Amino acid sequence: MRPEEISKKTEQLVNIKIEDLPPLPPPYTNYEETPITPLKEEQKKKWEHSLDGVSALTLPRPETPEEEERLVKLFLSGLEKLMTKENNWTFLQPLMLSMEYCAKCQTCADACPAFEMSGRKDIYRPTFRADVLRKIAKKYLSPGGKILPGFRGHDIDLNWETIARLAELSYRCTLCRRCTSVCPVGVDNGLMNHELRKIFSQEMGIAGPEIHEKGSVKHLKFGSSTGMTKAAIADIIEYLEDDIEEKTGKSIKIPLNKKGAEILLIHNAGEFMAWPENPMSFAILFDAAGIDYTLSTELTGYDGVNYGLWYDDVQFARVALKHLEIARDLGVKKIVIGECGHAHKALSVIADRLLPGEQMIPRESSYTLLNEIVKSGKIKFDPSKNDFPVTLHDPCNVVRLMGIVKPQREVLNAIFPPGRFREMEPHGVENYCCGGGSGFAIMSSGNFTDWKRLVSGRKKLSQILNAFQGEMDPSIRKMVCAPCSNCKGQIRDMLESYEVFEKTGIWYTGLVELMVNAMVDQEKPFLEWPGDEDDDDM
């Protein structure tokens, strides 16, 4: 399908069929998968779905032709602003280079898990949405753009279909930038998608509801994208302290708002709710290693997420500046980022050039610090307590986009018996996204969950299953270490949807939980496997 066909007036451009998708590895070779749930008639009337029958944005259909026209014009003005230094100094250079230089070789297509796992549907090619954007810019915004557009390859119609499909299409890419790694001329299709989302958000107010209204807006309004308020976090911390005592017998005080502490530790607040063992483990390890740290209960200070990273520079900057301000007010020497991949990249890398140097606070990955703790010998670990096969998921944001590859591996090698840790293939900087990147892990509007299950999460599920081939007996418990909240959420959803634990014994956790489980002075197993509580009850 040519990118120009995006403007076709048809009910739906593409249909995802199970039989077109690449098969999953054993024991799922003949597994009967559930297709994408079609939208109901009333949903179809309300929401745009003409790209692939999926609605991730629940984007309302314009009610009048005038409204359509207004939105089309708004898109074009957004694209124009995107190409100015005043409105887009943050990404102008890589954007313009990527706009101008695609050599149309399609090397990027084979690197993209979404394209591959969709059964190679053209609309998911990394170049497809980028090409549409290029063609619109050439035809409608460049001088002489309407001269011989067919011959020059940009004869595209800018109508509401184009805009509505582009909006949805910008939420079919996880921004993993695997395509960018292989492009022989350096074109960054991941970035092009990021920029496309910015037009929708910054100019048109259109974004994934979970990442904007229920995400960054809640973050700035209540203090956390989970909606958790300052008052609630203090209560939650108390519960965590009780739980730590129950699980370890240790009475540990988690420091809050401690002025002058060495470190401000920021977690993804989703951990407090979905995986409280994760912040508990940090508290146990930092206490045992004698680390001088604090958590914050200031607005945004207890939630390290920054959803703006995926769709909106303004929202991004607002949250990042808050994080830095809180650290400065506390007088800490550095910020340590918990197990959250996008929080790592947001605060360490992207926010690095938002303020003059003297206003910056050093930021460090928890992986690095945890490895330092292991190497220091301050905590004794007994690898035999982790005597089960384990594999490691590399969060794109931390690995390909930040170059933190070794520390987490060194930790695993120190806390597992030899031969228990095996890599996924490929791994490290060539890894595949979990399928929940760029906000997908938390997005579940319309029937998008089905798309994630069948398409974006498929590659990682295949990699996980492949890592444990030969040991698929469910009685052999196996673990995926996923040291990132969003990746963990996506992997959890995949494992649950495909009943992976029941069929193969594979489960998931973070890095710190595995560390605590291996601590010599931890009497009871710290890790919990599905069904453990039932066993205890018996």
Partner 1 sequence: MGFLQILTYLSGLVFVIAFAAKLLKYATMPMHVRWELYPIPHEGKEWGGSFYEEVDHWKKTRHKDHMAQYRFMVPEVLFIKALHEDNKSLWYWSFPFHMGLYLCIGGLAFLAIGAVLQILGMVPQNSALASLFQSLTIVLAVPGYVLGTIGILGLIVKRKTDSGLADVTAPIDFMNLIWLGLLFVTGFIVWLQDPGFVVSRAYFVSLLTFSPMKEPMGLIHVINLLVFIGFWAYFPFTHMTHMVSKYFMWDKVKWDDDPNRGDPGMDSKIKKYLAYPVTWSAEHVDAQGGKKNWADVATSNPWEAKEQK
Residue 74 engages partner 1 in binding (rule: CB under 8 A): yes
Strands (E), 270-321: 293-294
Residues 336-355, one symbol each (x = binds partner 1 by CB under 8 A, - = not), give ------------xxxxxxxx
Q: Which stretch binds partner 1 (CB under 8 A): 242-250, 284-292, 402-410, 504-512?
A: 402-410
- Cα 199 to Cα 182, 314, 373, 438, distances in angstroms: 26, 12, 44, 16
Sole binder of partner 1 in the list 234, 256, 405, 472 (CB under 8 A): 405
Phi, psi torsion values for 293, nearest 5 degrees = -140, 175
State which residue, 114 or 343, has the beta carbon closest to ligand SF4: 114
- Residue 309 interacts with which of ligand SF4, partner 1, none, CB < 5 to 8 Å by class: none
- Residue 349 interacts with which of ligand SF4, partner 1, none, CB < 5 to 8 Å by class: partner 1
- Residue 414 interacts with which of ligand SF4, partner 1, none, CB < 5 to 8 Å by class: none
**Rounded CA separation 76/457 (Å):** 33
- Which H/E stretch holds residue 351? none
Residue 337 forms beta bridges with which residues? 266, 365
Residue 94 engages partner 1 in binding (rule: CB under 8 A): yes
Residue 217 engages partner 1 in binding (rule: CB under 8 A): yes
Question: For partner 1, how many residues bind (rule: CB under 8 A)?
Answer: 97
DSSP-based three-state secondary structure for 266: strand
- Residue 418 interacts with which of partner 1, ligand SF4, none, CB < 5 to 8 Å by class: none
In angstroms, what is the minimal distance from the CB of 218 to partner 1?
8
Residues 163-202, one symbol each (x = binds partner 1 by CB under 8 A, - = not), give --------------x--xxxxxxxxx--x---------xx
- Residue 174 interacts with which of ligand SF4, partner 1, none, CB < 5 to 8 Å by class: ligand SF4
Residue 433 engages partner 1 in binding (rule: CB under 8 A): no
**Rounded CA separation 215/439 (Å):** 10
- Residue 11 interacts with which of partner 1, ligand SF4, none, CB < 5 to 8 Å by class: none
State which residue, 53 or 126, has the beta carbon closest to ligand SF4: 126
- Residue 126 interacts with which of partner 1, ligand SF4, none, CB < 5 to 8 Å by class: ligand SF4
**Rounded CA separation 190/305 (Å):** 20
Residue 446 engages partner 1 in binding (rule: CB under 8 A): no
**Rounded CA separation 482/457 (Å):** 14
Site for partner 1 in 281-300 (CB under 8 A): 299
Q: What share of the chain is helix, strand, coil (3-state, %, to 5)?
A: 50, 5, 40
C-beta atoms surrounding 520 within 10 Å: 10
**Rounded CA separation 379/219 (Å):** 35
Residue 83 engages partner 1 in binding (rule: CB under 8 A): no
- Residue 201 interacts with which of partner 1, ligand SF4, none, CB < 5 to 8 Å by class: partner 1
State which residue, 277 or 394, has the beta carbon closest to partner 1: 394
- Residue 405 interacts with which of ligand SF4, partner 1, none, CB < 5 to 8 Å by class: partner 1
Sole binder of partner 1 in the list 68, 122, 243, 471 (CB under 8 A): 122
Q: Which of 403, 459, 401, 463 is nearest to 175 (CA)?
A: 401
In angstroms, what is the minimal distance from the CB of 107 to ligand SF4?
4
User: What does the block give as tokens for 73?
Assistant: 């014009």
DSSP string, 189-229: HHHHHHHHHHIIIIIT----TTTIIIIIIHHHHHSSTT---
- Cα 329 to Cα 221, 325, 356, 362, 445, distances in angstroms: 20, 6, 17, 14, 38
Q: Which stretch binds partner 1 (CB under 8 A): 13-21, 149-157, 271-279, 486-494?
A: 149-157
Sole binder of partner 1 in the list 220, 234, 274, 289 (CB under 8 A): 220
User: What does the block give as tokens for 181?
Assistant: 């790694």
Q: Which residues bind ligand SF4 (CB under 6 A)?
A: 102-108, 111-112, 114, 126-127, 173-179, 183, 185, 187, 189-190, 193
Residue 413 engages partner 1 in binding (rule: CB under 8 A): no
- Residue 153 interacts with which of ligand SF4, partner 1, none, CB < 5 to 8 Å by class: partner 1
Residue 295 forms beta bridges with which residues? 256
- Residue 364 interacts with which of ligand SF4, partner 1, none, CB < 5 to 8 Å by class: partner 1
State which residue, 109 or 461, has the beta carbon closest to partner 1: 109
DSSP string, 360-384: ---EEEHHHHHHHHHHHTSS-B-GG
Residue 414 engages partner 1 in binding (rule: CB under 8 A): no
State which residue, 9 or 104, has the beta carbon closest to partner 1: 104
Sole binder of partner 1 in the list 71, 274, 289, 317 (CB under 8 A): 317
DSSP-based three-state secondary structure for 263: strand
**For residue 531, what are the contacts with CB-CB under 8 A and spacing of at least 6?**
none
**Rounded CA separation 389/45 (Å):** 49
Q: Which amino acid is at 15?
A: N
Sole binder of partner 1 in the list 36, 232, 291, 399 (CB under 8 A): 399
Residue for token pair 């710290």: 526
**For residue 503, what are the contacts with CB-CB under 8 A and spacing of at least 6?**
27, 28, 472, 474
In angstroms, what is the minimal distance from the CB of 400 to partner 1?
6
In angstroms, what is the minimal distance from the CB of 383 to ligand SF4?
35
Strand-by-strand arrangement of the 478-481 sheet:
421-422, 390-392, 478-481, 506-509
Check if the beta carbon of residue 455 is closer than 8 Å to that of residue 118.
yes
Residue 85 engages partner 1 in binding (rule: CB under 8 A): yes
In angstroms, what is the minimal distance from the CB of 92 to partner 1?
5
**Rounded CA separation 388/420 (Å):** 6
